């Protein structure tokens, strides 16, 4: 058996064969949705981490402490008025009566004086151009 091709035989025709690789070679168009999606995911992660850290900082700054209960009201004590020995003295009683009459005379004085009241002003002002 001879492995050589006889010289009178025509040359074989070779056709290129494509082997499927599963995904096409990366191009700028294929990367654009992945870049945009990755940027959105990274932005959302930064926002979520910021909210969590901010909430913990605010929670530590404004720690809630309940208000203490109000103190109980003091017990009611009835105090008897101390009457002075001068309260029933005749000179004090006369002075009290004189103060009452002076107070009544002051209350009856009319303090309105119509002759010194301000003048009535005519406030009907028309600004019309003829």
Q: What is the pLDDT of residue 127?
A: 78
The answer for residues whose C-beta is within 8 angstroms of residue 24's C-beta and 6 or more apart is 30
Which strand (E) or helix (H) includes residue 34?
Answer: helix 28-61
Report the distance separating Cα 130 and Cα 120, nearest Å. 28
Cβ contact 12:6 at 8 Å = no
Long-range contacts of 59-68 (CB under 8 A, 24+ apart): none
Tens of pLDDT along 20-61? 666 665 566 677 788 889 999 999 999 999 998 888 887 777
> How large is the average pLDDT for residues 107-114?
84
Q: What sections of the chain are H helices per DSSP?
A: 28-61, 90-107
């Amino acid at each position: 058996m001879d492995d050589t091709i006889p010289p009178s035989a025509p040359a074989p025709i070779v056709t290129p064969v494509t082997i499927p690789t599963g995904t096409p070679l990366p191009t700028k168009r294929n990367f654009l949705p992945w870049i945009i999606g990755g940027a959105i995911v990274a932005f959302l992660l930064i926002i979520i981490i910021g909210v969590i850290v901010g909430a913990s900082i605010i929670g530590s700054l404004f720690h809630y402490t309940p208000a203490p209960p109000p103190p109980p009201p003091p017990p009611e004590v009835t105090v008897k008025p101390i009457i002075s020995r001068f309260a029933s003295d005749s000179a004090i009683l006369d002075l009290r009566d004189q103060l009452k009459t002076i107070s009544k005379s002051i209350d009856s004085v009319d303090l309105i004086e119509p002759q010194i009241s301000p003048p009535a002003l005519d406030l009907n002002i028309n600004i019309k151009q003829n």
